[in-house]
């Protein structure tokens, strides 16, 4: 196999286009017969250690892994496209639906501060994503970044949560679409759902309109990325005009008396809202998955990601201020807050403009999410952790049709059954978990390079990272379980975080400098991102963590019975575990010097 990972057999595959046979789902040696599968299961511990200790290379992600899709994605996106994709991906049901619920029941007018906290956390994550996306511009986004820095197993767990994030996010937006459509038609949202009283309350309202909307989005996402970009561009312009209308018209009806009780639920309410409202910022990571289709990633990605997040944060803060100035917070409607607020101040006609704008916004969120989630799934399937059939790129449309359809079928099913609040809480957990892993991976990337970082510096780095994670977790746990505002525990945990971050900055030499664009103030900004993300996790309810735990168990079952063996065989066959032909194995910072016949290095115990 050559360095670019494309053999004559690969070329034949590329000419054939998308196919659908047994070998497209389980082509690996371990699944050729029951005997092979039983033998693979017996080797599970060794194979698991192999995958845990194996880190990918930038070049592997950029060439060999990408070549497994059989066809290239077209490079036709500019920074202008990415900014509008970012705005279209983020501004949707988070601001138009959850703002009302959080302002009314959790944080009051101080919801604007909740958006600020969530926005700061999201912007820190944007910086981390940007450095990775510039240097590893592939469709896999954070999955690819984590494979390179934290290894296969951590990347797989993150991948499962990335997919959960997109499916749940799409389902939540689709259900919100129905609520605003009902407002536009002068109906209550329950008029457009089917209520099944025999089912649990959180799953009893069946939403067929959400399913239809997801199906239409699927068609648009399958046809063309550039076509999706044009649709998103036009829809996002209309969306921005509506947002400006809401802000300007809303301020003309502002009553400062509504701000007299600014934080009725205290500081705890502000942070509880921040954790849930992080949902409003979900979607910007979809922009990083389009790096493979960007003309000039080094220039376009930083402008697209940072620019779209700055615009979004400013818009959210202004919109939340306007809403709470128009109505006293107890009277804010939790389903369609802006439409009802305009009706309450005597501008009933404006609620139709708001509803139409919200529908436009949520449509673009669904479209960009569909484009992004399919690219994540495509890259994950390229590693064979999921069936490689999902990695196929159609020769005519140059889009990952199989991945797009599968993800949107899952989105439609969940949107049909599940209540918005359950979706929002679970989504925030998955997203915050992924973002803290990406921030952790960035610190590892800067301070640890195989063969260059000394053992002493490696051990210092591991110790400091454990202290950062431990102190952040302790702070979040104490915040989550304590009923009072006692600050004594924070006097212990926060200095530990500060000293651990200082230890990396002062005592460990950076092993790698960014080639084009880099996060400023490393390790402080990524360390702060880790701390804020973990802290926000501590503000989410326990029931959501139980659902998160169930999903993680499902991921592990699939991994140990299928994904582990498929990815192990693929790595072995592609030459990842061989020295020859220019390939090397990276394990605990060392190149493999000796490899056994089974493809497992003799140095694995190191």
pLDDT one-digit tens code per residue, 40-95? 999 999 999 888 887 877 766 666 655 555 555 567 678 888 888 777 777 765 67
- Model confidence at 587: pLDDT above 50: no
3-state DSSP: the chain helix, strand, coil percent, rounded to 5? Answer: 70, 0, 25
Cis bond upstream, residue 523 (ω within 30): yes
Report the pLDDT value the prediction gives residue 421, as an integer from 0 to 100.
67
CA 276 to chain centre: 15
Taking each helix axis from N to C end, the angle separating 44-53 and 152-184, rounded to the nearest 10 degrees, works out to 80
Assess contact for 480 and 539: CB atoms under 8 A. yes
Alpha-carbon Rg for the chain, nearest whole angstrom, is: 24
- Model confidence at 110: pLDDT above 90: yes
Using a 10 angstrom Cβ sphere, with 0-12 exposed, 13-18 middle and 19 or more buried, the burial of residue 470 is: middle
Q: How far apart are CA 413 and CA 88, in angstroms?
A: 23
Single out the residue of 368, 303, 372 nearest to residue 139, CA to CA: 372
Provide the 8-state DSSP code for 71. S
Q: How far is CA 468 from CA 471, 497, 533, 535, in A?
A: 5, 5, 12, 12
Report the pLDDT value the prediction gives residue 553, as an integer from 0 to 100.
92
- Model confidence at 341: pLDDT above 50: yes
Report the pLDDT value the prediction gives residue 76, as an integer from 0 to 100.
67
Arithmetic mean of pLDDT, 576-586: 37
pLDDT classification of 147: cutoffs 50, 70, 90: confident
Report the pLDDT value the prediction gives residue 222, as an integer from 0 to 100.
77
Per-residue pLDDT tens over the stretch 270-290? 988 888 787 778 777 767 777
Single out the residue of 272, 335, 319, 267 nearest to residue 106, CA to CA: 272
- Model confidence at 605: pLDDT above 50: no
Report the pLDDT value the prediction gives residue 271, as an integer from 0 to 100.
87
List all residues 6 or more positions away from 475 whose beta carbon is below 8 Å from its beta carbon.
489, 490, 493, 494, 497, 531, 534, 535, 538
Report the pLDDT value the prediction gives residue 112, as an integer from 0 to 100.
94
Arithmetic mean of pLDDT, 191-208: 80
Tokens of 203: 């799953």
Tell me the backbone φ, ψ of residue 601, rounded to 5 degrees: -70, 150
What does pTM read for this prediction? Answer: 0.77
Q: How far apart are CA 217 and CA 404, in angstroms?
A: 10
Q: How far apart are CA 202 and CA 423, in angstroms?
A: 10
List all residues 6 or more positions away from 548 whose beta carbon is below 8 Å from its beta carbon.
426, 429, 430, 433
Q: Which helix (H) or strand (E) holds 587?
A: strand 586-587
Per-residue pLDDT tens over the stretch 280-337? 787 777 677 777 778 887 788 888 888 888 888 899 999 999 999 999 999 998 777 8
- Model confidence at 356: pLDDT above 50: yes
Q: What is the 3-state secondary structure (H, E, C) of 438-464?
A: HHHHHHHHHHCCCCCCCHHHHHHHHHH
Q: How far apart are CA 69 and CA 12, in angstroms?
A: 12
Q: How far apart are CA 198 and CA 204, in angstroms?
A: 8
Residue 53 or 446, more confident: 446
Residue 445 or 376, more confident: 445
List all residues 6 or more positions away from 491 whose beta carbon is below 8 Å from its beta carbon.
none
Q: How far is CA 505 from CA 126, 267, 389, 499, in A?
A: 21, 31, 44, 10
What average pLDDT does the structure give for the chain?
79
Q: How far apart are CA 542 and CA 547, in angstroms?
A: 9
Q: How far apart are CA 530 and CA 559, in angstroms?
A: 26
Assess contact for 166 and 414: CB atoms under 8 A. no
Domain spanning 79-434, CATH architecture: Up-down Bundle (1.20)
Q: How far apart are CA 248 and CA 433, in angstroms?
A: 37
CA 362 to chain centre: 17
Provide the 8-state DSSP code for 64. I
Q: Which residues of 226-256 are buried (b: 16+ CB within 10 A; e: fewer)?
A: eebbebbbebbeebbebbeebeebbeebeee
The per-residue DSSP string of 193-247 comes to SEE-TTS-GGG-EE-HHHHHHHHHHHHHHHH-HHHHHHHHHHHHHHHHHHHHHHH
pLDDT classification of 601: cutoffs 50, 70, 90: very low
Tokens of 505: 């900055």
> Long-range contacts of range 520-525, CB-CB < 8 Å, 24 or more positions apart?
520/127, 522/442, 522/443, 522/446, 523/443, 523/446, 523/447, 525/124, 525/127, 525/128
Assess contact for 258 and 329: CB atoms under 8 A. yes
Arithmetic mean of pLDDT, 166-175: 83
Per-residue pLDDT tens over the stretch 210-226? 889 888 888 877 776 55
């Amino acid at each position: 196999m050559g360095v670019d990972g494309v053999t004559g057999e690969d070329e034949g595959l590329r000419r054939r286009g998308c196919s659908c046979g047994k070998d497209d789902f389980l082509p690996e040696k371990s699944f050729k017969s029951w005997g092979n599968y039983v033998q693979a299961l017996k080797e599970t511990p060794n194979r698991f250690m192999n995958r845990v200790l194996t880190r990918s290379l930038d070049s592997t992600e950029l060439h060999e892994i990408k070549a497994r899709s059989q066809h290239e994605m077209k490079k036709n996106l500019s920074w202008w496209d990415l900014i509008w994709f970012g705005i279209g991906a983020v501004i949707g049901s988070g601001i138009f639906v959850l703002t009302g619920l959080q302002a009314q029941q959790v944080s009051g007018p101080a919801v604007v501060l909740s958006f600020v906290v969530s926005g700061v956390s999201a912007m820190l994550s944007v910086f981390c994503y940007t450095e990775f996306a510039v240097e590893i511009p592939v469709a896999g986004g954070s999955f690819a970044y984590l494979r390179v820095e934290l290894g296969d197993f951590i990347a797989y767990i993150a991948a499962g949560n990335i997919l959960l994030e997109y499916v749940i996010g799409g389902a939540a937006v689709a259900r919100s679409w129905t609520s605003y459509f009902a407002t536009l038609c002068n109906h209550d949202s329950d008029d457009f759902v089917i209520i099944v009283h025999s089912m649990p309350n959180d799953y009893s309202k069946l939403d067929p309109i959400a399913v239809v909307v997801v199906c239409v989005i699927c068609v648009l996402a399958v046809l063309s990325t550039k076509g999706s970009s044009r649709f998103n561009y036009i829809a996002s312009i209309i969306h921005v005009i509506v947002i400006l209308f809401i802000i300007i018209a809303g301020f003309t009806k502002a009553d400062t008396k509504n701000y007299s009780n600014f934080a009725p639920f205290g500081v705890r309410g502000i942070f509880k809202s921040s954790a849930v409202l992080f949902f409003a910022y979900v979607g910007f990571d979809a922009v990083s998955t389009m790096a493979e289709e960007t003309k000039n990633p080094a220039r376009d990605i930083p402008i697209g990601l940072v620019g779209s997040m700055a615009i979004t944060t400013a818009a959210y803060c202004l919109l939340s201020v306007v809403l709470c100035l128009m109505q006293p917070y107890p009277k804010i409607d939790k389903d369609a807050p802006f439409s009802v607020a305009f009706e309450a101040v005597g501008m009933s006609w404006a609620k139709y403009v708001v509803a139409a704008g919200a529908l436009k916004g949520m449509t673009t969120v669904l479209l960009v999410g569909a484009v992004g989630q399919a690219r994540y799934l495509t890259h994950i399937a390229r590693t064979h952790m999921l069936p490689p059939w999902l990695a196929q790129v159609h020769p005519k449309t140059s889009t990952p049709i199989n991945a797009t359809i599968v993800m949107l079928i899952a989105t439609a099913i969940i949107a049909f059954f599940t209540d918005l609040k359950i979706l929002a809480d679970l989504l925030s957990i998955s997203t915050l978990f992924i973002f803290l892993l990406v921030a952790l991976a960035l610190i590892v990337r800067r301070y640890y390079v195989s063969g260059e970082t000394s053992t002493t510096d490696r051990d210092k780095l591991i110790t400091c990272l454990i202290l950062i994670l431990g102190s952040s977790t302790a702070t979040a746990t104490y915040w989550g379980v304590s009923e009072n505002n006692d600050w004594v525990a924070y006097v212990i945990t926060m200095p530990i975080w500060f000293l651990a971050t200082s230890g990396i900055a002062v005592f460990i030499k950076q092993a790698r400098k960014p080639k084009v664009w880099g996060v400023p103030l490393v390790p402080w900004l990524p360390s702060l991102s880790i701390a804020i993300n973990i802290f926000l996790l501590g503000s989410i309810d326990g029931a959501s963590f139980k659902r998160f735990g169930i999903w993680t168990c499902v991921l592990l079952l699939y991994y140990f019975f299928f994904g582990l063996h498929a990815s192990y065989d693929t790595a072995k066959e592609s030459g990842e575990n061989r020295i020859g032909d220019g390939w090397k194995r990276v394990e605990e910072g060392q190149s493999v010097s000796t490899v056994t016949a089974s493809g497992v290095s003799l140095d694995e115990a190191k």
